[in-house]
Structure 1
Amino acid sequence: MAPSERPARDPGLQPERTALSWRRTIMSAIAADILIWRGWFQALTGAGGGAADNTAQVVGMGVCASVAALTTIILVLCAVARIKVLHSGTAALESEARIAAPALTLRTASAAIVALAAATVSAIALGM
C-alpha cells in the first residue's frame, strides 16, 4: 500500500499506556534503589551488626548503590525520550520508523534493567 493510500494513524491510548508502563518500571527501579541505598547506609554505620571490620561489604554495597542510581537515571532518560516522541502528535508518527522505538533506546533500557537486577542480587548477597 502506498503511503498516500494508507489510512491516517490513530494512536488511540498507546502513548498513555506506554507512559504508564515506563512510569511503573521507573517506580520499581526507584524502590530497588531505596533498598540498596538503605543497605549501604546500614553497612556504613555498622547497624547491620556483624564484624567490626566490614570494609569489603561497605565498598561492595557502595558499588551496588552507584550502579543502581546510574541505571535508574538511564531508565528515566530513555522513558522521557520515548514519551516525548509518542506525545509529539500523530503527524510526527506517520512514518513507520517513528512509531517503533529505536533499537538503541531498547538496548539501553534492557541493559540498564539487567545491570539493576545484578546490583540488586549483589546487594542481597552482600547482606542487605
Structure 2
Amino acid sequence: MGGVSGAGGPAGESARDPGLQPERTRLAWRRTTLSATVVAVLAGKQAVHDGVTGVGVLGAALSALVWVGFLVVAHGRMRELGGVGRPGALGVGRAWAVVGCGVALAGFGVAVVW
C-alpha cells in the first residue's frame, strides 16, 4: 500500500499546506537574479576597462538588455510565489526565456572578454 498519503485523497489536496516551499523558491529566484546582475555589471566593467571598442560596448549593452529581460521574468515569478495559495507552474515560454537569458549572458560575457 505504498504511495498512500495521510492527506486523505483529493479532499486533502485542497487543504494542502505548502509550508516554506514558495519562500525557498522565491529566495532561489532572488539569488539567480543577483548572479545575473553580477554578470551584467562585470561585463560593463570589462568593456570600460579594456577601452571603448565596438564589440565590448555591444556585448555590455546586450548583456544589460538581457539582464533587464531576466529581471522582468524573475520579478513576475517572485510576485506569483508571494501570493496566497498554491502558485501555478512556471510556463514553458517563461522557462525558455530564462534559459535564453542565461545562455545569452554567458555568450555576451565571452564576447566582452574576448
**Length-normalised TM-score, structure 1:** 0.73
Post-superposition Cα deviations, 1:20-59, rounded to whole Å, max 9, x if no partner, equal: 1111111111111111111222212xxxxxxxxxxxxx11
Partner of 2:111: 122
- The CA distance in 1 between the partners of 2:88 and 2:39, in whole Å, is 31
3-state SS of paired residue (1:88): coil
Q: CA deviation at 1:4?
A: 5.9
Displacement of 1:9: 2.4
Q: Any gaps of 5 or more consecutive residues in structure 1?
A: 45-57
> How do 1:35-54 and structure 2 match up within 5 A?
35-42=42-49, 43-44=51-52
Over the matched positions of the two proteins, sequence identity in percent amounts to 30
Aligned residue for 1:62?
57
Report the counterpart of residue 80 of structure 2 in structure 1: 85
* Aligned residue identity for 2:24: R
Number of aligned residue pairs: give it: 104
TM, length-normalised to structure 2: 0.81
Instruction: Please list every run of at least 4 consecutive aligned residues from structure 1 whose deviation after the TM superposition is greater than 4 angstroms.
Output: none
Report the aligned-residue RMSD. Answer: 1.7
Q: Distance in 1 between matches of 2:79 and 2:16?
A: 18
Partner of 1:33: 40
The C-alpha deviation readout for 1:7-30, integer Å capped at 9, x for no partner, is 222221122111111111111111
Displacement of 1:82: 0.7
- Residue type of the partner of 2:19? G
- Displacement of 1:5 in angstroms is 2.5
**Which among 93, 106, 109 is matched to residue 104 of structure 1?**
93
CA distance in 1, matches of 2:24, 2:10: 28
Match of 1:15 among 4, 22, 39: 22
User: Match for residue 76 of structure 1?
Assistant: 71
In 2, Cα distance between equivalents of 1:25 and 1:18: 11
